[in-house]
Amino acid sequence: MDDATLTQLLDDLTSPDPALRDEKAWSTVAEAVMAHQLTEDQRSQAAERARKHLRMNEIQAPSFAPLVVDVLVETGGWEDVWFERSASRALWLRR
């Protein structure tokens, strides 16, 4: 998957449109992660975007963020660098 497509799909996870968010964005991102189609940089990008989505006010953004982190962890482990910028401020879930 190219970077532009991944960026668009991650942005679409915050869409109020369930067809775009659930059926297209989430399923495509999850399938790509589970099929190991993302580079390490793209995995980091997805984790960073999930961290940012946790702080958004729209209900769907923080709802899908933990799902992204979960599929990343389930398919390749945890990278401390994904969330180290948040560690000095407070628990990343509270930011």
Tell which residue, 74, 90, 92, has the closest CA to residue 82: 92
Write out pLDDT tens, residues 76-95.
877 776 666 554 444 444 44
Mean pLDDT of 42-69: 89
- The confidence score (pLDDT) of residue 29 equals 97
- pLDDT at site 58: 84
Share of the chain above pLDDT 70, in %: 84
Structure tokens at 50: 């999930």
Summarised one tens digit per residue, pLDDT across range 20-29 is 999 999 999 9
Query: CB–CB of 55/14 below 8 Å?
Result: no
The pLDDT score that the predictor gives to residue 31 is 97
State the pLDDT at residue 95.
46
